[in-house]
Structure 1
Amino acid sequence: MKAISVLGTSSNAGKSWMVTALGAWLRRNGIKVAPFKAQNMSNNSYVTLEGGEIGRAQAVQAIACGMRPIAEMNPILLKPSGNGTSQLVLLGEARQHIAAVDYYRHIEALWETVRDTLEFWRDRCDVLLLEGAGSPVELNLMQRDLVNLRPIVYLQGRWLLVGDIEKGGVFAQIIGTHHLIPQPAKELGLGFIVNKFRGDLRLFSDAKKHFREHMPHFPYLGVLPYATDLQPESEDSLCSEAESKGKGAKIAWIRFPHLSNSQDSQPWQLDSGIETVWVKTVVELENARIIILPGSKNTLSDLQWLRTTGLDRAILNAHQQGITIVGICGGYQMLGKYLGDREGVAGTSGEVAGLGLLPISTEFLASKQVRQVQAIWKSAQSIDQWMAYEIHMGVTKLIDGMESHQVQPLLRVLQTDGDREYYDEGIKGDRVWGSYLHGLFESAHARQALTQLANISQHQPAAISWQEHQQNLYNSMADLLEEHLDLLSIRSYLD
């Protein structure tokens, strides 16, 4: 097995993007390739077929590589929940909430998990594509860094360095990072890439000369233009890719402080006649035709934030004026009448009233529901079936029977692990939907049903499915690599 690690000069330099593009490029060159990130910190997560939880970015990379996502692609996942703590997910299984200082006390034991998982891959792929985190030369962290240099040195593979010209100072970024990498690891470098260039590439044509003066033996692979239409979902829920998109009727997504799984909004970007907007204030919520409360890693804390900002009253007033409201996962829990987390197992402890738009109550328990399902949408005109998944703490129940509240199940799902069992999922009431399903809007039928409920006549769902769009996207990313980069050093290492 060969191994290539993509390191960055900083966070959000384009490491996830590069691994995804390289995976698609290697796959279509007939190479069996798998993604790997030793330790990820993100609230955007994915559920594997076996019920394991991994970073969403590694799941995207796996699909680009033509592989089914599994827990061994991301053995350590940290999900920030506020107050300096994160939930530790180890090989797909949720463990305790842990403070940073306590986490670092277990670095060597965690390294054993990383090392064993690297060994797992040795006879399962031709190339393992590793993704780094932040910068590999944070001098105060290098001795306890599990994700950047240590894995690739252990495998004696090779690494690429990605610099972000959008941040400015790209020469200092790349030359400084290369200078600070310890010599044994420096010898494993394959080359470096300048990423996210906007404008006329000819203005950067003399860059190679300047880099060569300071790094004569470190290959310059080229500069990649920033392609707005070739941006798969990011692992960072608060990054720029989760901003407003489209033109038309306004669909407002609430940007919680502990927002998770922001990618639930992305299928809407394929459609016409609607605009996706992320909001944090009452003013930004004005003129919304649909309001969506997405997932949260700390539901009670984010519900309190709604009340502090006045967004709770604005949402209730909007509903009284005929606006359609949707809650997904934590947002679904908030739409109920009661939420109780006496032990603080999901973040902030307490017992609070919800927004009261759905006749449900939620009790948070130590166990976590993690499962992949087939969602089934039926209407008088159509039926659609696609993969979705649940990741949540808390058991949600109807306070009374459905009949007394004039609510119905939102859709049906088929549980795919163990016994193949059909059951109802979610609730729809008077212009209110609630669901635990991440991936709910990957169905054009579900998106269109929602806009019809909201009387948005100009909405036109895309002709292409979200899944087909993603595959086209990965192939186009691979095309961009071939067009703009000198890939000879990578080819030579793999031959």
Structure 2
Amino acid sequence: MSDRRSIAVLGTASDVGKSVIATALCRYFSARGEQVAPFKAQNMSNNAGVTPDGREIGRAQIVQAEAAFQIPHADMNPVLLKPNSDTGSQLVVLGKAVTHASARDYYRKKDELYAVACQAYDRLSAAHDRIVLEGAGSCAEVNLMDRDIVNFPMAAHADADVILVADIHKGGVFAQIVGTLAILPPQFSARIKGIVINRFRGDFSLFASGTEWIEAKTGIPVLGVLPWFTDIHIDDEDSLSLSPMKRPEQAEKDAFVIGVIPLPHLANFTDVSPLSRVNGVELVYLAAPSDMDLCHTVILPGSKNVLHDLNWIHATGWSKALLTAADAGKPIFGICGGYQMLGKRVSDPDQLEGRHQQVDGIGLLQMETVLEADKITTITDFEWNGGSGQGYEIHMGRSRALGDDHQPVRITARNGKPVSDTDGMRSSCGRVMGTYIHGFWDNPDILDRYLTWAGFHGKTPETFLCGLAYRHQQYDRLADWLTTHIDLSRMGC
């Protein structure tokens, strides 16, 4: 039996379900009356959010904080890497962007960043009953182990018991587990107090002998086997989750089809999630510009490298298809980086995103954008088209009007402070629009008004939940899923 407060959820590989299981544990322990906080020392993701004090952290830690009934804080994800090329990332420390770093640059800062992470953990630990830590990738990457600040080194600092998660859907689950244990140093493997098999499909009884074999081979209890689910909706950590989305030709015959362009550096992809749950609406990701012909409306989402993705849009025929769609009256909506691309040009005089200093935009909005190092990160209250809502802003760009296009969004507060400002742009014809506000569709009032603007003739019912109310419902269901299928008492919880 262990009396340790911290539990670390580590994985045999990337995308085995660590974030979801950590979220479920946050909800489970908080429902028992404990003050719980999530913690991930270093996250690599372009799906980020903003804390109430204007700091930027990984979206997964915001989700976990919500599940734990806690206010998101930069200490919960002290180091965030936001990839904007194949070899480099924007480095965000304690919620503030500090530099662009290559992998080598980042590893040179390892000791400094580990110290920052340990201090952040210590502050959280002093203020909470229990911390649920999440690891990153595989916890047994031999070539990176001496530079790892997020898996076993952080578990050791926290003196945490470790749950090792393996994904049976990937195949080779026995090799995942035994192989991981075989290459870990003894002081690390000794921390593993339980194993969880995730994403099982089929008859559990068929895996009973597998559980027995794992326990006999490793001497570590298998806490349970978690079934695959499709009916619980938790915001994903990264865009690996895009692959199961429908293609346009798979949409129901009479559905209102909303197409999303999957940019190479897609960011904050969960913005569109509420649209996928509206009856009569099909949200699809587009594989080719010709797919737009099958859609009623198109969304250009956020990007972590706007100039690169804008060049890609021009080179692959998307910009021509968007111009054709707009000429035909098809509604087009841009979020953040996608909004910037809809303008006349995007300039990067300080080369914050790479070697390109200026790229022509798609030209559907009379505006231009200049990228600046000072990043805006705010929780934003706004009004649009007679409705009100709250979202968040994360962007380096500053956009200005070049013509008579209207700024349709009224900003009423940022980070809790009243303001009187405007945001976004709407074309003179009214069928092309963009905004910097992420979480735009998390607000029922705004969701209905957007669907009407886009041409959808249905309406969401009064009982339709979105935003935080919907997410809390899903966190409860997630905790029930976890505790139905695993036995935490086997590791003293």
**Into which bin does the TM-score normalised by the smaller protein fall?**
over 0.9
Give the whole-Å Cα distance in 2 for the aligned partners of 1:284 and 1:173: 39
Tell me the secondary structure at the aligned position of residue 101 of structure 2.
Answer: strand
Q: Which moved more, 1:48-57 or 1:114-123?
A: 114-123
Matched AA of 1:76: V
Alignment of 1:107-126 (within 5 A): 107-126=110-129
Give the whole-Å Cα distance in 2 for the aligned partners of 1:416 and 1:458: 32
Matched, 1:281 2:285: no
Tell me the secondary structure at the aligned position of residue 232 of structure 2.
Answer: coil
Q: Which moved more, 1:154-163 or 1:417-426?
A: 417-426
Contact 1:448 1:461 in 2 (8 A): no
- Which deviations, in whole Å up to 9, do the C-alpha atoms of 1:24-73 show, x marking residues without a partner? 11111111100000000000000111111100000000000100111000
Match in the other structure for 1:149: 152
- Of residues 420, 429, 443 in structure 2, which corresponds to 1:422? 420
Tell me the secondary structure at the aligned position of residue 234 of structure 1.
Answer: coil
- Which deviations, in whole Å up to 9, do the C-alpha atoms of 1:331-373 show, x marking residues without a partner? 0001111211122113452212211111111011121111111
Alignment of 1:9-408 (within 5 A): 9-215=12-218, 217-240=219-242, 243-244=245-246, 247=252, 248-379=255-386, 383-385=387-389, 387-400=390-403, 405=404, 407-408=405-406
Matched AA of 2:439: G
Contact 1:273 1:460 in 2 (8 A): no
Offset at residue 478 of structure 1 (A) = 0.5
Structure 2 alignment gaps of length 5 or more:
none
- Which deviations, in whole Å up to 9, do the C-alpha atoms of 1:243-287 show, x marking residues without a partner? 239742110111000100000010112211111111231133221
Q: What is the aligned residue count?
A: 482
| Cα distance change of structure 1 residues 280 and 302 upon mapping to structure 2, 3 Å threshold | farther
Identity, in percent, stands at 39
Match in the other structure for 2:475: 474
Tell me the secondary structure at the aligned position of residue 163 of structure 2.
Answer: strand
Matched AA of 1:99: S
Matched AA of 1:25: Y
Give the whole-Å Cα distance in 1 for the aligned partners of 2:432 and 2:242: 29
Give the whole-Å Cα distance in 1 for the aligned partners of 2:12 and 2:166: 5
Coordinate RMSD, CA, aligned: 1.7
Give the whole-Å Cα distance in 1 for the aligned partners of 2:489 and 2:311: 54
Give the whole-Å Cα distance in 1 for the aligned partners of 2:357 and 2:392: 27
- Which deviations, in whole Å up to 9, do the C-alpha atoms of 1:81-110 show, x marking residues without a partner? 114110000000001111111111111111
Give the whole-Å Cα distance in 2 for the aligned partners of 1:265 and 1:101: 34
Contact 1:377 1:445 in 2 (8 A): no
Offset at residue 300 of structure 1 (A) = 0.8
Matched, 1:413 2:417: no
Give the whole-Å Cα distance in 1 for the aligned partners of 2:244 and 2:366: 31
Offset at residue 117 of structure 1 (A) = 1.1
Matched AA of 1:294: P
Contact 1:132 1:147 in 2 (8 A): yes
Matched AA of 2:423: E
Contact 1:444 1:461 in 2 (8 A): no
| Cα distance change of structure 1 residues 354 and 461 upon mapping to structure 2, 3 Å threshold | farther
Contact 2:300 2:333 in 1 (8 A): yes
Contact 1:49 1:417 in 2 (8 A): yes
Give the whole-Å Cα distance in 2 for the aligned partners of 1:294 and 1:205: 44
Offset at residue 458 of structure 1 (A) = 4.1
Contact 2:385 2:449 in 1 (8 A): no
Contact 1:57 1:235 in 2 (8 A): yes
Q: Which moved more, 1:231-240 or 1:457-466?
A: 457-466
Taking structure 2 as the reference length, the TM-score comes to: 0.94
Structure 1 alignment gaps of length 5 or more:
none
Offset at residue 211 of structure 1 (A) = 0.9
Tell me the secondary structure at the aligned position of residue 126 of structure 2.
Answer: coil
Q: Which moved more, 1:172-181 or 1:478-487?
A: 172-181
Give the whole-Å Cα distance in 1 for the aligned partners of 2:192 and 2:479: 21
Match in the other structure for 1:446: 446
Contact 1:271 1:462 in 2 (8 A): no
| Cα distance change of structure 1 residues 271 and 418 upon mapping to structure 2, 3 Å threshold | closer
Q: Which moved more, 1:160-169 or 1:229-238?
A: 229-238
